[in-house]
Amino acid sequence: MTEQLRLMAVHAHPDDESSKGAATMAKYVSEGVDVLVATCTGGERGSVLNPKLQGDPYIEEHIHEVRAREMDEARQILGVRQAWLGFVDSGLPEGDPLPPLPEGCFALQDVDHAAGALVRLIREFRPHVITTYDENGGYPHPDHIMTHKISMVAFEAAGDPTRFPEAGAPWTPLKLYYNQGFNKQRTIALHEALLARGLESPYGEWLKRWEEFARPDRSITTHVPCAEFFEIRDKALLAHATQIDPDGGWFRVPMDLQREVWPTEDYELAQTRVDVSLPEDDLFAGIRGA
């Protein structure tokens, strides 16, 4: 393939792109790949998770604008392009019984209707590869699950001229992956390495919850080496200042340990229209040189 390679990462909220696959995107940008983040919602109902910023009346009143600025800063750090699909954050319902989702939110949209916006963006950008979430959303946030649903519809429909004819000329993406960066094997490896060094691990509770929720192991097909871009990943994540506590668990694992123990970001190949040989170390395997 002689044309520039293109990668689209579909995410639910601003900050998801920096916590899931950010080092991979930075790696591909460094290689000349054109990378676009599609952000489904504005994160309007996200809580302020950084204790240092909680209670700030300006942030609470203007959370949408604040998170948009954070997204722009993270985008620049990663070197990617970014587009908003324009849906409204559903929030994460809590309680027993769970409250209903707010009217008009992303998770309550008709799936085919909502997929139309992503189809239009796919046809405009023409990605060879798309990344998104699995059917569980990575974790069961209604916006993450909805992101999975519209991604699957759009991947199938974008190349079909009979579907969404108003959304532009057809384009057929070649591969679709699920982000699986928070897989059990990686979590155990980092946890055990920290304990072996005599360090406190932030993953003990994660592993207990894994057993509690009986989460099935996923099929990890693709390990992208990107350790030299972990620092860029962290800088992008910290740009989402309302969402990330710089003193929190995200940053308690020494960088040298991360690079030594688990130097990849990991994916599950969900759909492919090209021949592949698994496992892979490149999202564009089977596309490069074809």
DSSP string for 207-226: HHHHHHHTPPPP---EEEE-
User: Residue 15 has what pLDDT?
Assistant: 97
Instruction: Determine the average pLDDT of the residues in 69-93.
Output: 97
User: Residue 205 has what pLDDT?
Assistant: 86
13 assigned to a ligand binding site: yes
What pLDDT band is residue 152 in, cutting at 50, 70 and 90? very high
What pLDDT band is residue 213 in, cutting at 50, 70 and 90? low
223 assigned to a ligand binding site: no
Domain boundaries, the chain: 6-183+219-272, 184-217
Q: Which of 211, 251, 255 shows the shortest CA–CA distance to 230?
A: 255
Across all residues in the chain, what is the average pLDDT? 94
Distance, CA of 79 to CA of 28 (rounded, Å): 10
Q: Which amino acid is at 147?
A: T
Instruction: Determine the average pLDDT of the residues in 236-251.
Output: 92
Distance, CA of 11 to CA of 20 (rounded, Å): 9
What pLDDT band is residue 168 in, cutting at 50, 70 and 90? very high
Q: Is residue 201 over pLDDT 90?
A: yes
Name residues whose C-beta falls within 8 Å of residue 68's C-beta, 6 or more positions apart in sequence: 14, 42
User: Residue 1 has what pLDDT?
Assistant: 61
Distance, CA of 290 to CA of 283 (rounded, Å): 14
DSSP state at residue 101: P
User: Residue 2 has what pLDDT?
Assistant: 66
User: Residue 139 has what pLDDT?
Assistant: 82
**For 6-183+219-272, CATH number?**
3.40.50.10320
Q: Is residue 178 over pLDDT 80?
A: yes
Q: Please confirm whether the linkage preceding 97 is cis (ω < 30° from 0).
A: yes
Q: Is residue 180 over pLDDT 90?
A: yes
Q: Is residue 222 over pLDDT 90?
A: yes
Q: Is residue 210 over pLDDT 90?
A: no
Q: What is the pTM of this model?
A: 0.96
List pLDDT tens digits, range 7-55: 999 999 999 999 999 999 999 999 999 999 999 999 999 889 999 999 9
Q: Which amino acid is at 98?
A: L
Instruction: Determine the average pLDDT of the residues in 160-164.
Output: 97
Name residues whose C-beta falls within 8 Å of residue 133's C-beta, 6 or more positions apart in sequence: 12, 144, 145, 147, 148, 151, 178, 179
256 assigned to a ligand binding site: no
